[in-house]
């Protein structure tokens, strides 16, 4: 059973470009979470999605950031008009549907975004 | 809101030394508690967890006990190895209706020297 897949592993963008980060959850998992890790800091929750639905986006910046998890295909985190402050590691996690508060999250290897 | 505070690193130890990483939390509800480990250049791996008061999570020689009275979940290992060098994150999950999002502490870097 393959783990959570993220690609690309490393992404370099110039200021003003768009960044698209992809996450394929573990087989059988229908819940996806995105977290951001700034240099030398802990992870911060960004958004929680189920198939075709955004459940909680309380950690997403109000502008330039969006996320989706379509019926088919991976979850996408999109950052428009990137700025240097967006440079960070972005981690995706997935979990199975089930009783809230009991199941674990499994993390992908992350995408390290560098904005030049 | 929820928050997790853990001791700052780096923590430098010799092999076979005793390791303790303190973690305290603030939560409005009754959270589950986790320790994750991050090796250089990799993602997070779940190390252990506890879902209710007085539960003890354990894995690979690491242990942590869910202490509701002190709102703590300290990580311990009796004899560390060089391979334990990593960053350790304490986290809690909010069992609210919106899902199981994790709130992390800032991480503690541990360096074990031979």
Tens of pLDDT along A32-71?
Answer: 999 999 887 789 999 999 989 998 999 999 999 999 999 9
* Residues in chain A closer than 8 A to B89 (CB atoms): 42-43
Question: Which residue of B lies nearest to A109 if distances are taken between CA atoms?
Answer: B43
* Chain-chain contact of A100 with B107 (C-beta, under 8 angstroms): no
B107 in Cβ contact with B87 (< 8 Å): yes
Radius of gyration of chain B (CA): 14
In angstroms, the separation between the Cα of residue A46 and the nearest Cα of chain B is 9
Residue B74 predicted with pLDDT over 60: yes
pLDDT at res. B114: 94
More confident residue, A55 or A77: A77
Residue A116 CA to residue B18 CA, distance in Å, equals: 43
pLDDT at res. B42: 82
Q: Give the best-scoring range by mean pLDDT among A96-105, B36-45, B60-69.
A: B60-69
Name the one residue in this structure whose structure tokens are 């202490």.
B67
pLDDT at res. B1: 82
For residue range B15-30, what is the model confidence (pLDDT) as tens digits?
999 999 999 999 887 8
Pairing relationship of beta strands A53-56 and A75-79 according to DSSP bridges: unpaired
Q: Which of A48, A24, A46, A108 is nearest to B99 (CA)?
A: A48
- In degrees rounded to 5, what are phi and psi of residue A8? -75, 170
Residue B27 CA to residue B45 CA, distance in Å, equals: 23
Pairing relationship of beta strands A111-115 and A10-13 according to DSSP bridges: parallel
* Chain-chain contact of A102 with B51 (C-beta, under 8 angstroms): yes
- In degrees rounded to 5, what are phi and psi of residue A113? -95, 130
- Classify the phi-psi angles of B97: left when phi > 0, otherwise alpha if psi is within -120 to 50, otherwise beta: alpha
* Residues in chain A closer than 8 A to B98 (CB atoms): 48, 55-56
Residue B112 predicted with pLDDT over 80: yes
First vs last Cα of chain A: how many Å apart?
A: 37
Residues ≥6 apart with Cβ < 8 Å to A18:
A78, A79, A80, A81, A82
* Residues in chain B closer than 8 A to A109 (CB atoms): 42-43
More confident residue, A8 or B28: A8
Residue A99, CA distances (Å) to A29, A87, B104 in order: 13, 35, 22
Chain A residues contacting B via beta carbons under 8 Å: 4, 31, 33, 35, 41-45, 48, 55-56, 59, 91, 93, 95, 100-110
pLDDT at res. A101: 52
């Amino acid at each position: 059973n393959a783990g959570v897949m993220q690609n690309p592993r490393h992404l370099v963008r110039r200021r003003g470009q768009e960044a698209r980060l992809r996450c394929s959850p573990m087989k059988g998992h229908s819940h996806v979470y995105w977290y951001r890790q700034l240099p030398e800091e802990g992870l911060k929750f960004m958004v929680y999605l189920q198939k075709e639905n955004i459940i909680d986006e309380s950690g997403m910046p109000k502008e330039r950031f969006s996320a989706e998890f379509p019926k088919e295909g991976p979850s996408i985190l999109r950052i428009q008009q990137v700025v240097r402050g967006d440079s960070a590691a972005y981690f995706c996690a997935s979990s199975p549907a089930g009783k809230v508060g009991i199941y674990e999250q499994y993390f992908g290897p992350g995408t390290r975004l560098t904005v030049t | 809101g929820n928050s997790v505070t853990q001791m700052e690193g780096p923590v430098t130890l010799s092999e076979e030394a005793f390791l303790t990483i303190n973690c305290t939390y603030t939560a409005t509800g009754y959270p589950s508690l986790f320790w994750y480990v991050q090796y250089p250049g990799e993602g997070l791996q779940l190390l252990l967890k506890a879902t209710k008061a007085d539960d003890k999570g354990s894995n690979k020689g690491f242990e942590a006990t869910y202490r509701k009275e002190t709102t703590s979940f300290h990580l311990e290992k009796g004899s560390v190895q060089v391979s334990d060098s990593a960053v350790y994150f304490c986290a809690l999950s909010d069992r609210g209706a919106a899902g199981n999002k994790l709130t992390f502490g800032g991480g503690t870097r541990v360096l074990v020297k031979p």
